[in-house]
Amino acid sequence: MQEGARPTVGQYIYQAEAQFLDSDIFFGHGTMEALDEAAWLVGSAIGLAPAELDDALERELTASEINKLDALVRRRIDERIPVAYLLNEAWFAGHRFYIDERALIPRSLIAEYILEHFQPWIEEDRIHSVLDLCTGSGCIAIAIALEFPETHVDAADISADALKVAIKNMQDYGLGDRVELIQSDLFEALGNRHYDIIVSNPPYVPPSSMLALPQEYKHEPELALVAEDNGLDIVDRILAQAAEHLNEGGLLIVEVGESREALEQRFPHMPFTWLSHESGEETVFLLNRNDLTGTR
């Protein structure tokens, strides 16, 4: 690059990638590698939508853009803040969401099953009511509402702070008539409501594992990550109560991450169906209402 010349968008992305690779930062809150992280940070910070980035790679950055990007890159490395929090932006199921440190960064594997319309596990014309437990930022509930325009979605979370983030996202998508946000400790405030599908990405990290997680996780609310009883406290309660809130033929779909083995050991006779994911992970289980009433 000529002395005194400012870098182009593309050049800055590669510079940021190199700095990320030379650091000890952790990827996993929206991207899995340094180049993707750098491209996301640069593009979003200078106001480019993902689809616009390729066409802008040769554009020279302004001095103010460079100053802004330098500060963001430095904070990413020095403070280990996930890019999603630096930008107040996360992507889930193809949609952009507002995010800050009051809520978990959206990254649930459940996105894939939403985009597949939960096929082949339930007929689409039977999906009229859905509950998203531990909704956090509301991303799962909103993604479902966008994919199923005739469906009502309840989104419940114990955290009033997380629900404030969800409110902003719900308003951004104009879904106030079809997505209802409810402060509730799991099913506690839901009364006698029943659903065709209950989905949840609950806390499932054992306290002992939390201590070993990369620094990036420490910026997320511990309430949304950690569960007592070897990571099974919340999942156990969901299994105990879900059948009372499912319609006949209804489905329970829950992500349990690293707690899968402990869950199977605790419930050896529960007929979990482990859903395959494009990443190769199988840490989301599916049960129907009869499974829950007949084997627990």
> In the chain, what percentage of residues exceed pLDDT 70?
98
Say if residue 193 is in the same domain as residue 134: yes
Closest residue by Cα to residue 285 from 240, 249, 235, 248 = 235
Please tell me the predicted confidence (pLDDT) of residue 4. 64
Say if residue 215 is in the same domain as residue 262: yes
AA letter at 188: E
Say if residue 106 is in the same domain as residue 174: yes
Tell me, what CATH number does 38's domain have?
1.10.8
Residue 44 CB coordination number (10 Å): 21
**Residues 183-206: pLDDT tens digits?**
999 999 999 999 999 999 999 999
pLDDT at 237 over 80: yes
Inter-residue contact 251 to 287 (CB < 8 Å): yes
| Strand order from edge to edge, sheet including 129-133 | 179-183, 152-157, 129-133, 195-200, 246-255, 284-288, 273-274
Say if residue 131 is in the same domain as residue 80: no
Tell me, what CATH number does 213's domain have?
3.40.50.150
Local confidence band at 281 (pLDDT 50, 70, 90 cut-offs) = confident
CA atoms 19, 21, 24, 28: torsion sign:
positive
Please tell me the predicted confidence (pLDDT) of residue 137. 98
Please tell me the predicted confidence (pLDDT) of residue 296. 47
Say if residue 80 is in the same domain as residue 126: no
Cα(39)–Cα(45) distance, integer angstroms? 10
Total count of domains within the chain:
2
Residue 194 domain-assigned? yes
Residue 245 domain-assigned? yes
Please tell me the predicted confidence (pLDDT) of residue 211. 87
Say if residue 164 is in the same domain as residue 243: yes
Say if residue 80 is in the same domain as residue 141: no
Domain-terminating residue out of 53, 87, 121 = 87
pLDDT at 156 over 70: yes
Inter-residue contact 247 to 222 (CB < 8 Å): no
Say if residue 73 is in the same domain as residue 110: no
Domain-terminating residue out of 45, 60, 87 = 87
Residue 1 domain-assigned? no
Cis peptide before 120 (omega within 30 of 0): yes
Say if residue 83 is in the same domain as residue 109: no
**Residues 75-79: what's their mean pLDDT?**
98
Cα(194)–Cα(253) distance, integer angstroms? 15
**Residues 125-139: pLDDT tens digits?**
999 999 999 999 999
**Global pTM value:** 0.94
Q: Which residue segment(s) compose the domain that 59 sits in?
A: 9-87
First to last CA, the chain: 66
Please tell me the predicted confidence (pLDDT) of residue 294. 61
Residue 172: both structure tokens together: 């951004």
Say if residue 37 is in the same domain as residue 68: yes
Q: Look at the block and give the residue holding tokens 């996301």.
A: 40
Mean pLDDT computed over every residue of the chain:
95
Say if residue 278 is in the same domain as residue 146: yes
Say if residue 260 is in the same domain as residue 138: yes
C-alpha dihedral (2, 74, 210, 268), degrees to nearest 10: -30
Domain-terminating residue out of 31, 54, 87 = 87
